[in-house]
Amino acid sequence: MIFALVTILTALALFAGMLALMELGARAGRRRIERDSEGARSGTAAPEGAVFALLGLMIAFTFSGALQRFDARRALIVAESNAIGTAWLRLDLLPAPAREELRQDFRVYLDTRLGAYRAGEDLREARAALARANELQVQIWAKAATLCRAEGQPVAVLVLPALNAMFDIASERTAALETHPPPLVFALLIALALACALLAGFAMAASKLTHWTHRLAFAFVVSITVYAILDLEYPRRGLVRVDGFDQILVELREGMK
């Protein structure tokens, strides 16, 4: 929950910062109007429009990318379940005594993989579990390769590619968990949001009324969007999670009798 708290605090700080900068911009705008009532707004529309457009593009691309990566991670869970299930079934082609030993290795392997995903924010535990899973991959492959050499090519053609696919999808899932935009992108997004708040306050200076409804709505929408982007990028550490899809792997493990 530490990550969830950090993202919430980040969104709240952005919300407060945008409100403060809108007020600061409004005061600066009023002072300029008092100095030069005729030219206070001359020549500022183009740069303001460019900055707001850039903020819109940044939000659109980062949100779209985060959502695509979120969907890809869910799809990889299903793909890993299918790959492990296929390899498990093809163990039936191997001789009985060694097959039972490999099946036990499969059970330990899947338990280890599930343990890595359940570690949540404990990165040390997750990495240790993933390292153990990699060791089990080597162990499973060595045993399966030895048995396939003894059984002949027809068995090897069916068993070894299934194991290879199982290991490949595990590597893809590990890489997907670590795939995020550079921190500079998030910093730029927040900086643009604050800059737009300052410009919005400057634009509101011409009105004698303080448009708190507009200010609150603008700051809230941008802040909650930034929060959603951060939460989608880290689906095992925030409030938006892919843990529910792990049930597919849990059910597969329960079926490994």
Q: What angle do CA 27, 31, 35 make, to 5 degrees?
A: 165
pLDDT tens for the chain, residues 1 to 257 = 688 888 999 999 999 999 999 999 888 888 877 776 544 455 567 788 889 999 999 999 999 999 999 999 999 999 999 999 999 999 999 988 888 999 999 999 999 999 988 876 677 888 899 999 999 999 999 999 999 988 888 899 999 999 999 999 999 998 888 889 999 999 999 999 999 999 988 888 776 666 788 899 999 999 999 999 999 998 887 787 787 888 899 999 999 97
Token couple for 46:
């183009």
Token code pair at residue 151:
């059984």
- Pairwise CA distance, residues 232 & 237, whole Å: 10
Going by C-beta distance under 8 Å and a sequence separation of 6 or more, which residues neighbour residue 14?
190, 193, 194, 219, 222, 223, 226
Question: Contacts from 4-7 at CB under 8 Å and sequence distance 24+?
Answer: 4/231, 4/237, 4/238, 4/239, 7/227, 7/230, 7/231, 7/238
Q: How far apart are the first and last CA of the chain?
A: 35
State pTM to two decimals: 0.82
Instruction: Look up residue 81 and give its two tokens.
Output: 């379940």
